[in-house]
Copies of this chain bind each other. A is one copy, B any other.
């Protein structure tokens, strides 16, 4: 019979993730940072909300006909960050990301605000080099030089990435909010596909197929109807089904890691944003981790 000492109890991890790093092929890490957001904070509780809502899902994906039970996923829990100190927090995240990439594992970072993606992308770039393709799904362009005088901000993250990733290797999908300057800069520099995600993704798939790819996904790319629990909801986005379709389209690419950010559970009593995020993570793991 099961005993307390012989069998771990239920704790809040992503689906059936284990707690063994060494044998794992993929690693889930929460980055509970929400210090630079301009409207509502609260995405620091995003990772745990995604874990909790993952329990409404099955391990099996009928879309991929694959099962998480056959994979070895390690859920680290959340990083211990420095409240109110973005620089120090980003450094902690970067170390964690570098460690996972260097150990040849597939990382999934759960935000937190979008700024947490910056150090992860830096680490990916350092590992996979100048060919690294960045796919950015978001309602917001995140292409500002600075925001309210701060260059490290959830609103500058892709512009920051463009300082080391060639803009022509950056693809942006679903963007429907930004300043005029951001839209101009995006249209002139990145592969900039506003409003839509599925059709432009189909179009660009051939050109990214043989390159290393990193995906950063802000849940607000989806319409607030499907993802109300986020800090800056922007009406007019795609459906949950479209978002899942985009993930499946990417199954043939050489994805090296991804992050999913800006889930903010407090304003979503039914938890449907966390459930959608968890489903994207499950489909992403089953699609990208070979």
Chain A interface (Cβ < 8 Å from any Cβ of B)? 1-5, 8-13, 21-22, 27, 29-30, 32, 34-42, 44-45, 48, 52, 55-60, 62-63, 65, 67, 76-86, 88, 92, 95-96, 99-100, 103, 147-150, 152-153, 175-180, 183, 194-195, 223-226, 228-230, 232-237, 239-241, 244, 266-272, 275-276, 279
Closest-CB distance, A61 to chain B (whole angstroms)? 9
User: Nearest CB to that of A91 among chain B residues?
Assistant: B1
Could you jot down 12 A-B contacts, CB within 8 Å? A10-B78, A36-B84, A38-B83, A39-B55, A57-B177, A80-B148, A84-B150, A84-B152, A84-B153, A224-B240, A226-B235, A269-B269
Stoichiometry (number of copies): 6
| Contact of B150 with A83 in the complex, beta carbons under 8 Å | yes
| Contact of B226 with A180 in the complex, beta carbons under 8 Å | no
B residues in contact with A270, CB < 8 Å? 224, 228-230, 233, 267-268
B residues in contact with A36, CB < 8 Å? 35, 83-84
CA A180 – CA B286 in complex, angstroms?
14
CA A28 – CA B290 in complex, angstroms?
39
Using known A-B contacts A3-B99, A226-B224, A271-B267, determine if residue A82 contacts B148 with beta carbons closer than 8 Å. Answer: yes
Most buried by B among A27, A55, A240: A240
| Contact of B235 with A276 in the complex, beta carbons under 8 Å | yes
Partner of A41 from B8, B34, B232, B240 at Cβ < 8 Å: B34
| Contact of A41 with B39 in the complex, beta carbons under 8 Å | no
Using known A-B contacts A36-B84, A77-B10, A235-B240, determine if residue A100 contacts B4 with beta carbons closer than 8 Å. Answer: yes
| Contact of A12 with B9 in the complex, beta carbons under 8 Å | no
List 9 A-B pairs, minimum CB-CB distance, nearest first: A9-B77, A36-B84, A41-B41, A228-B270, A224-B272, A267-B270, A11-B77, A9-B76, A235-B276
CA A13 – CA B13 in complex, angstroms?
12
CA A209 – CA B206 in complex, angstroms?
44
A-B contact sample (15 more), CB < 8 A, given A38-B83, A83-B153: A2-B92, A9-B80, A10-B78, A11-B13, A40-B45, A41-B41, A41-B44, A60-B180, A84-B84, A84-B150, A84-B152, A224-B270, A225-B239, A233-B272, A235-B275
Closest-CB distance, A85 to chain B (whole angstroms)? 5
